[in-house]
Structures are given as C-alpha cells and as structure tokens.
Amino acid sequence: MTAAALPRFLERFAKVYGNIGKTESIISTAAAHHRLLWIHPFMDGNGRVARLMSHAMMLDVLDTGAVWSVARGLARNAGEYKSLLANCDLPRRNDLDGRGTLSEEALAEFTRFFLGICIDQVNFMESLVQPDRLRTRIAMWAEEEIRLGFLPPKSGSILEAVLYRGELPRGDADTVVGTGERQARRIVSALIEKEVLVSESSRAPLRLAFPAVLASRWMPGLFPDKPA
C-alpha cells in the first residue's frame, strides 16, 4: 500500500466500523483492531494506537467507565496475541475462507481470542474490586502507614467511610473519626498529601483516589509484568 492510498483506506475503515449497532460494535472491535494495524497509518506506534482504539470502542459501546481494559489482557497474553494477529495478514486459504483478500478464518479465530480476553478482564476486575477484599487491602495499607508514623491515627476510618459512601463531605470527617475538627483536618490533609484522597476544592467532598504507586498494594496484579 502506498501513502497516497491511506486516505481511501481510512475512509473505508471509518465507514465500515463507525455506524453499526451495539452488538455488532462489540464483535467487530477485534476486526477493527486488526484492520487498523493492517492499514498501518503511522510510521511507528500503530500497536499502541490500535489498543487505545479498541479500549475506546469498548468504553463507548459498553459505558464501562474505563474500569477494565482489553489492552491489559492483550499484554498478559502477548505471544498468542501477536501470533493470531499475524495470521490475520495471511491471504485467503480457499474459496470457503471468506470473500476478501485476507483470511476470514484467521480473523474469526483472532476475534474469538479477543472477546475471550475481554471477558477475562471483566472477571478479573470484578474480583479485584469486591468491596470486602478491597476494603481489607486498603485497611492493611493504612494500618502499616500509621504504624510507621506516615499517617495519623484513624486515617483508616476516613478511607473506609469514603470507600463505602463514594464521597465524604469534609464537615463529616470529625464525626467519622470521633475527634475534634482540627485533628480531622490533619488526617484529611495527610491523606490528600499521600494522594489517596482527592477533592475538587477546599470545600468539595472527599473522594478516593488510586495512585499508581499503590497499585501493587491496593489492586494486586492490575499491571502486567511485560507490556505488549
């Protein structure tokens, strides 16, 4: 393919994958993933773009809130992912292998693998964010930080309240910890400094944050060892 042909291929790509139903969008994400890589519109970074695009497509059609990402699953299964993806570049094997230039059987096999990865990641994140398990991991971290003198006592009570309520009005902090307002402010400030609590302003409610530095403690296994 020449560079001059790119606009035509991308226009066709957008036409095929940009206006289909919900179920078709889910199934066709795998095909779009390969086809974009086959078009190869960039000098470098096509794989990263394709994985970002697939994540965005699933985010749009399923409204997942980015809780899970197929890119993580592909990174954890890099060998099989790259092998099946390469097979999609093979020419049609026979008259029963689709109607186009490329192998439809290979694309179907990659699609099954891709959707299986999506289901696996949904299940993984569902288990990871089970309230009781997540609470235990966060509480253990808070207790350790308090014991080492990195957080004030009762910091865990604030984190637990935010975890179960979703957000905590600043004025409720002293009630949660059962201390005076001044001590409650000290605890909140320490948690914000640790970047485990965030707030849009000094008066806005407190919300839980998940800093990357704590991923291995709060969300073990979230990041794969080796990126694809």
The reply to whether 149 falls in a domain is yes
Q: Give pLDDT tens digits for 187-203.
A: 999 999 999 999 998 88
Tens digits of residue pLDDT in 148-163: 999 999 999 999 999 9
11 & 118 share domain:
yes
CATH number, position 212: 1.10.10.10
21 and 123 share a domain? Answer: yes
Boundary of a domain, candidates 128, 159, 175: 128
Considering the domain architecture, whether residues 118 and 138 belong to the same structural domain is answered as: no
What total number of domains does the chain contain? Answer: 2
Task: Give residue-wise pLDDT tens across range 104-138.
Answer: 999 999 999 999 999 999 999 988 888 888 999 99
Structural domain harbouring 185: 131-218
Residue 112 CB neighbours (<10 A): 12
Residue 227's pLDDT is 46
User: What pLDDT is stored for residue 123 in this prediction?
Assistant: 93
Cα distance between the two ends of the chain: 26
- Mean pLDDT score, 73-78: 92
Same domain, 68 and 22: yes
Across the range 201-210, mean pLDDT stands at: 91
Last residue of a domain, one of 81, 104, 128: 128
Q: Does 87 fall in a domain?
A: yes
Asked if 26 and 1 count as a contact pair (C-beta separation under 8 A), the reply is no
Could you say which of 86, 105, 128 is where a domain stops? 128
With H, G, I as helix, E, B as strand and everything else as coil, classify residue 180: coil
Q: What are the angstrom distances between the C-alpha of 223 and each of 17, 62, 122, 212?
A: 29, 22, 15, 10
Same domain, 113 and 181: no
Q: Which of 39-53, 94-108, 183-197 has the lowest mean pLDDT?
A: 94-108
Same domain, 139 and 124: no
Q: What is the mean pLDDT of residues 3-28?
A: 90
Rounded to 5 degrees, φ, ψ at 197 are -125, 145
Q: What is the pTM of this model?
A: 0.76
| pLDDT at position 187 | 95
